[in-house]
Amino acid sequence: MTVAKKRALKISLLLGFFIILGLIIYMLLSGENADLIKSVFTEDLTRDEIRDRLIDVGIRGYLTIAILAMLQVVLTFLPAEPVQVIGGIAFGFVRGVIACIAGVIVGNTIIFILYKIYGTRLNNFFDKNLELDLNKANHSGKLAAVVFLLYFLPAIPYGMICFFAASTRMKYPRYITLTVLGAIPSVCIGVGLGDLALSTGWIVTGIILFVVVTLLIIMMVKKDAIMAWINKIIRKLSEPHSTKTVVKKYSSVRLYILAAIARAVFFFKGIRVRLYNKAGQLSRPSIVLCNHGSFFDFAYSGLLIKKYAPNYIVARLYFCNRTLARVLRAHGTFPKSMFTMDLESAKNCRRVLRSGGVLAFMPEARLSTVGKFEDIQPSTYAFLKQAGVDVYTVKVNGDYLCDPKWGHGLRRGSLVEATLEQLISADELPALTTEEIATRVEERLSYNELEWLDSHPEVHYKSKRLAEGLENVLAICPRCGARHALRTRRRTVSCEKCGMTLEMNDRYAFVGDAPFRNFAEWYDWQYAKLSDEILNDPTYTLTDRVTLKLPSTDGKKQLRVAGEGECTLSRDGLVYKGTMDGETVELCFSMNEMYRLLFGAGVNFEIYRAQTIYFFVPTELRSAVTWYMASKILKDSSVQ
């Protein structure tokens, strides 16, 4: 389009606007309305009489306000506040708001239709005039927040905000809901000012109008600074959620509050918790190690060391949710990518110890599968030696049986015992080898929950669903050898293939003619069977179709579905071939970089690389435990 044509188009649009405005004024003043409005300014009337005269203008008065409100949306260079103030003066708060909102709804709808028809051309126009970082705004995880923020700024015409909302490609119902809700607060303010002006006299009315106009002028003069500020907020909102954390100190009062809540939960759930402090006062700085039979080990150990405001290491997965991450950071925790090199976590560990803090973590780095001590990565022992501080332990028993990895909820009647003791003094560490440190740690933290239960005959678990979920850690039927064919209901475990049914009593023991005394013996048997299969087959592979999940980018949820494909585990490592964020990829995790595949019972298997977690959901959910067992067997055989 030539310059002359552009100038002609602008003149035509301006002329059309004045023609429409003239027609609106004519409609408003036609008939007896002119005399009514004139009397408002010429006769000595009370506030109520003025309001009554203006209301007598009738439907044409309401239509005028609604049409003007619609025009200030469609003709984006018109400010909204004068129309709203006039609506409040003329018809009061309620009627004025209704008239303005009616016009806003029509105007917003017109903008939506215009964008659908002239999207590209409008995009170029508004990109130039709005000076808003549309690309960043469109990728913001807080679109609603951005829209509401824009509505609260007098310098931003409603039409431009509507254009921005339409440019995000949202559906009309969400678009109209969002833009109308965003407009309501500012409409109420504008109309309320008009209503207040009439209620307090013409002098106050003039002052209010002067303030509104002055504010508009200031906002327009400072438009560039305002838009720069808005774009800064948009860029911040559009940044992908990050799990990155710099650990900070916090008040132990927070842990005392959490401890009181935990105590209440355990009481109402019928769980007895016994705490034993054999260490006395903890030194600073120091390290506290805890075994990890249950998700609630943070609570059990925290009850013993809460006054020291310890900094716990937590799996990075839990920091993928923005809200949960905020809570965790507020309580001094920081993330760790499990079983892989994590420099960020290492730096946070050093920060805690350098500041004289207490560093607490579970060195097994995953929940116990069947209530037995899981092995610890050798690098942990090297870290303890290098740290050179006193090392303590919190040994917990009964935690797994209270809340097993595969179970559904806490078991009423549980007994949990937690004991705090010193393990190694800082003075001893220089003379100890990493192997000697490993021996001390493993001897202290080693546990077998079912053996512990044998020494507590008074404990009986009252859950009616005691066996439910066991099919997610027991993969092979001992009668027919079928894999992933087990089902559980209440206190029974049965095989879909051969019909074998086993009953569990209130102490986790199988009753009657059972091939195993308990589920731990069953697990050990299947682990040995799978180990023989893998070690006797040099070409062993485990393959399944999977859904790939990755950390969410907006932090609203922990994970998002990123693709589908096939996973294969072999002596070379783990390979994923499939899609990821719309692209075809092949992800290879060599056996050298793997230690163990983590798994959620009946949920997934997963692996970390740097700060990213790759979360694989197999077609057969019950097979997740097999991926874990196979990864352990393959890794251990590769380092022998």
64-73: pLDDT as tens digits = 667 777 776 7
User: What pLDDT score does 222 carry?
Assistant: 67
More confident residue, 541 or 95: 541
- Examine the pLDDT at 129 and tell me if it is beyond 70: no
What is the distance between the alpha carbons of residues 53 and 33, in angstroms, rounded to a whole number? 9
Reference 628, options 596, 602, 603; nearest CA is 596
Side-chain-facing half-sphere of 28: CA atoms under 13 Å = 19
Q: Where are the beta strands (DSSP E) in 571-603?
A: 573-580, 583-590, 598-600
Confidence of residue 496 (pLDDT cuts 50, 70, 90): very high
Residue 272's CB is within 10 A of a number of other CB atoms, namely 14
User: What pLDDT score does 268 carry?
Assistant: 94
User: What pLDDT score does 31 carry?
Assistant: 53
Instruction: Report the mean per-residue pLDDT for the chain.
Output: 84
Q: Where are the beta strands (DSSP E) in 212-294?
A: 272-277, 286-290
Mean pLDDT across 610-639: 95
Q: What is the pLDDT of residues 173-228, one digit of tens each?
A: 888 888 888 888 878 877 877 777 666 555 665 666 676 667 667 666 666 676 67
Which CATH code, of 2.30.29.30, 3.90.1300.10, 3.20.20.70, 1.10.1530.10, is assigned to 537-638?
A: 2.30.29.30
- Examine the pLDDT at 103 and tell me if it is beyond 90: no
**Length, in residues, of the chain:** 640
Sheet holding 583-590, edge to edge: 583-590, 573-580, 559-570, 542-551, 612-618, 604-609, 598-600
User: What pLDDT score does 161 carry?
Assistant: 79
Degrees to nearest 5, angle at CA 228 with 224 and 230:
115
Least confident interval from 49-53, 334-338, 450-454, 497-501: 49-53
DSSP string, 543-575: EEEEEEEEE-SSSSSSEEEEEEEEEEEETTEEE
Confidence of residue 326 (pLDDT cuts 50, 70, 90): very high
User: What pLDDT score does 100 carry?
Assistant: 83
> Which residues are paired to 577 by β-bridges?
566, 586
Contact 297, 215 (CB under 8 A): no
* Residue ranges per structural domain of the chain: 31-238, 253-454, 470-534, 537-638
Mean pLDDT across 519-524: 97
- Examine the pLDDT at 6 and tell me if it is beyond 80: no
- Examine the pLDDT at 113 and tell me if it is beyond 70: yes
The answer, as to whether pTM is greater than 0.85, is: no
More confident residue, 226 or 424: 424
- Examine the pLDDT at 526 and tell me if it is beyond 90: yes
More confident residue, 78 or 268: 268
Residue bearing tokens 């995790």: 589
Confidence of residue 399 (pLDDT cuts 50, 70, 90): very high
What is the distance between the alpha carbons of residues 608 and 574, in angstroms, rounded to a whole number? 12
Give me the long-range contacts of 363-366 (CB less than 8 A, separation at least 24).
363/289, 363/441, 363/445, 364/291, 364/292, 364/445, 365/292, 365/315, 365/336, 365/338, 365/339, 366/292, 366/338, 366/596, 366/598
User: What pLDDT score does 40 carry?
Assistant: 42
User: What pLDDT score does 178 carry?
Assistant: 85
Residue 214 exposed, middle or buried by CB count within 10 Å (0-12, 13-18, 19+): exposed
Percent of the chain with pLDDT over 90: 59
Mean pLDDT across 505-531: 95
- Examine the pLDDT at 126 and tell me if it is beyond 80: no
Confidence of residue 411 (pLDDT cuts 50, 70, 90): very high
Mean pLDDT across 295-310: 96
State both tokens at 275.
């705490």
Residue type for position 49: E
What is the distance between the alpha carbons of residues 540 and 533, in angstroms, rounded to a whole number? 8
User: What pLDDT score does 581 carry?
Assistant: 93
User: What pLDDT score does 36 carry?
Assistant: 47
Number of H helices, E strands in the chain: 21, 18
Mean pLDDT across 355-368: 96
Least confident interval from 58-62, 137-141, 164-168, 382-386: 137-141
Confidence of residue 43 (pLDDT cuts 50, 70, 90): very low
What is the distance between the alpha carbons of residues 282 and 389, in angstroms, rounded to a whole number? 11
What is the distance between the alpha carbons of residues 416 and 371, in angstroms, rounded to a whole number? 13
Query: What is the sign, positive or negative, of the torsion defined by CA atoms of 179, 182, 188, 194?
Result: negative
User: What pLDDT score does 37 carry?
Assistant: 46
More confident residue, 60 or 610: 610
What is the distance between the alpha carbons of residues 617 and 549, in angstroms, rounded to a whole number? 8
- Examine the pLDDT at 78 and tell me if it is beyond 90: no
User: What pLDDT score does 263 carry?
Assistant: 95
Percent of the chain with pLDDT over 70: 77
User: What pLDDT score does 548 carry?
Assistant: 98
- Examine the pLDDT at 18 and tell me if it is beyond 70: no
- Examine the pLDDT at 269 and tell me if it is beyond 60: yes
User: What pLDDT score does 397 carry?
Assistant: 98
- Examine the pLDDT at 527 and tell me if it is beyond 60: yes
Least confident interval from 34-48, 169-183, 586-600, 622-636: 34-48
Contact 163, 119 (CB under 8 A): no
More confident residue, 617 or 242: 617
Least confident interval from 8-17, 81-90, 195-204: 8-17
- Examine the pLDDT at 42 and tell me if it is beyond 70: no
User: What pLDDT score does 27 carry?
Assistant: 53
The DSSP bridge pattern shows strands 510-511 and 501-504 to be antiparallel
User: What pLDDT score does 555 carry?
Assistant: 82
The DSSP bridge pattern shows strands 311-315 and 358-361 to be parallel
